[in-house]
């Protein structure tokens, strides 16, 4: 399953929100944000009974 994520800096934190899925996370750095995105997507899809792979591609805003 492809999950599209939009990322942006809100002035204090890097934030990520799912475009087609109800996912939101944040991190102090962009690298930390990518780690949190992987965790959030995995948990979200686990709840839906789906498997994921570790190829994360985020659109940086």
The CATH number of residue 11's host domain is: 3.30.160
What is the value of pTM for the model shown? Answer: 0.77
User: 16-43: per-residue pLDDT in tens?
Assistant: 999 989 999 999 999 999 999 999 999 9
> What's phi and psi for 38, nearest 5 deg?
-55, -45
Name which residue leads in pLDDT, 60 or 5: 5
Confidence of residue 53 (pLDDT cuts 50, 70, 90): low
Please report, in angstroms and rounded to a whole number, the separation of the first and last CA atoms in the chain. 23
Q: Which residues contact 8 (CB under 8 A, 6 or more apart)?
A: 14, 15, 61
Kindly report the number of other CB atoms within 10 A of residue 26's CB atom: 19
From the list 23, 58, 50, the residue with the least C-alpha distance to 39 is 23
- Number of domains into which the chain is organized: 1
Q: What is the mean pLDDT of the chain?
A: 86
Segments forming the whole domain that contains residue 16: 5-60
């Amino acid at each position: 399953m492809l999950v599209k994520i939009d990322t942006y800096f809100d002035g204090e934190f890097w934030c990520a929100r799912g475009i087609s899925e109800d996912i939101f996370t944040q991190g102090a750095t962009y690298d930390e944000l990518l780690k949190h995105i992987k965790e959030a997507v995995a948990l979200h899809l686990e709840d839906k009974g789906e498997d994921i792979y570790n190829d994360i591609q985020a659109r940086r805003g």
